[in-house]
Amino acid sequence: MKLKTRQRVEWGIEKILLFCASVSVLAVIFITVFIFQRGLPLFRNVSLWEFLFSTYWLPSDETNPGFGILSFIVGSFYVTFLALAIGVPIGLSCAIFLAEIAQGRVSKLLRSVVELLAGIPSVIYGFFGIVIISRFVREVFGGTGYCVLSASIVLAIMILPTIINISEVSIRAVPRDFKEGSLALGATHWQTIAKVIVPAARSGIIASIVLGIGRAVGETMAVLMVAGNAPIMPKGLLSMVRTLTMNIVTDMGYASGDHMTALFTTGIVLFVFIMALNGIVNALSKKQIKGEG
């Protein structure tokens, strides 16, 4: 009887887990269908080339409407990858320090700070960017302070917890034998970290960077508050910028007709970019596993 009861309980748990997994898959499918269903009709009136490679965005103009999002795509890449250039070295260095060097109170303090950064709402980062970062950029570099550089610095701070946490876990997951073998061969602690531990944790570190990119690309509120939100092609670090997500949020309140459809089509562009990014990472991970095998 006990064996039958245990089997029934295990069967029930398996079905519950399967249901939860199915809900996640169905949610992704429904979101995908919804976005494509609402966004693809735009191409009945606007060509794909015009939509992706034109900088003329004026969908509310009845006589000569424009649906070009090239400036928003460039702005998104500009802000995102500048944020990565700032955040990845800092985040990876912090992860290495926490995993290999920090001990005692210092380690606890740093982890508490990283956890606090992860829990701060986006709007608070935006306020910090307005009061501190934009003012700093304006006084040091000139301009209005609401620009690509300010948005990138804010995003760099926001993606730090993601990069630090996942990279630290990946570094700690490296077998201890790797480190002991390197030290036994006469390598210093830093040489072991740089030549053995970090390369061994490469897949996890890449995953942290990809998740950081996803956070940076999808962030709206904080960037909206410090980037200037100008629908123009960014010409430098001090230029105002509007990203894809900013464009959706800015226009969603009053858009209708083809204008609304164009916002959903912008969402398709974001969706395809994230899917492509995940596909590249999975391919690189499989390639690395085959190489190690």
Residues 6+ apart with CB under 8 A from 211: 162, 163, 166
**Axis-axis angle for helices 244-252, 258-292 (nearest 10):** 150
Does residue 130 surpass a pLDDT of 60?
Answer: yes
50: burial class by Cβ within 10 Å (0-12, 13-18, 19+)? middle
With helix as H, strand as E and coil as C, how does 4-35 read? HHHHHHHHHHHHHHHHHHHHHHHHHHHHHHHH
Instruction: Tokens for 30, please give them.
Output: 């429904």
Quote the pLDDT of residue 263: 92
CB atoms inside a 10 Å sphere around CB 169:
15
Of 56 and 60, more confident: 56
- CA–CA dist 92, 105 (Å, integer): 20
Q: For 46-60, 89-103, 118-132, 270-284, which range has the lowest pLDDT when averaged over its residues?
A: 270-284
> Is the separation of the CB atoms in 258 and 46 below 8 Å?
yes
- CA–CA dist 65, 210 (Å, integer): 36
Does residue 289 surpass a pLDDT of 60?
Answer: no
What is the mean predicted confidence (pLDDT) over 133-144? 91
Quote the pLDDT of residue 1: 56
Percent of the chain with pLDDT over 90: 39
pLDDT tens digits, 156-214? 999 999 999 999 999 998 888 888 898 888 888 888 988 999 988 888 888 888 888 88
32-35's contacts with Cβ under 8 Å and 24+ in sequence apart are 32/271, 35/264, 35/267, 35/268, 35/271
Residue 87 has, within 13 A of its CA and on its CB side, a CA count of 31
Does residue 286 surpass a pLDDT of 60?
Answer: yes
Does residue 152 surpass a pLDDT of 90?
Answer: yes
Sorting pLDDT into bands at 50, 70 and 90, what band is 153? very high
Domains of the chain: 71-292 (1.10.3720.10)
pLDDT tens digits, 248-273? 988 888 888 889 999 999 999 988 88
Does residue 223 surpass a pLDDT of 70?
Answer: yes
What is the mean predicted confidence (pLDDT) over 219-235? 88
Quote the pLDDT of residue 147: 92
**Axis-axis angle for helices 148-172, 134-141 (nearest 10):** 120
Sorting pLDDT into bands at 50, 70 and 90, what band is 127? very high
| Nearest one of 120, 129, 81, 83 to 228, comparing CA atoms | 129
> Is the separation of the CB atoms in 126 and 225 below 8 Å?
yes
Percent of the chain with pLDDT over 70: 95
Instruction: Indicate the SS3 state at residue 75.
Output: helix
Instruction: Report the predicted TM-score, pTM, of the whole model to 2 decimal places.
Output: 0.86
Quote the pLDDT of residue 293: 53
Chain center to CA of 10: 38
Angstrom CA distances, 210 to 149, 156, 163, stand at 21, 13, 9
Q: Which helix (H) or strand (E) holds 36?
A: helix 2-39
What is the mean predicted confidence (pLDDT) over 91-111? 88
> Is the separation of the CB atoms in 95 and 172 below 8 Å?
no
What is the mean predicted confidence (pLDDT) over 23-34? 91
Instruction: Tokens for 128, please give them.
Output: 């910090």
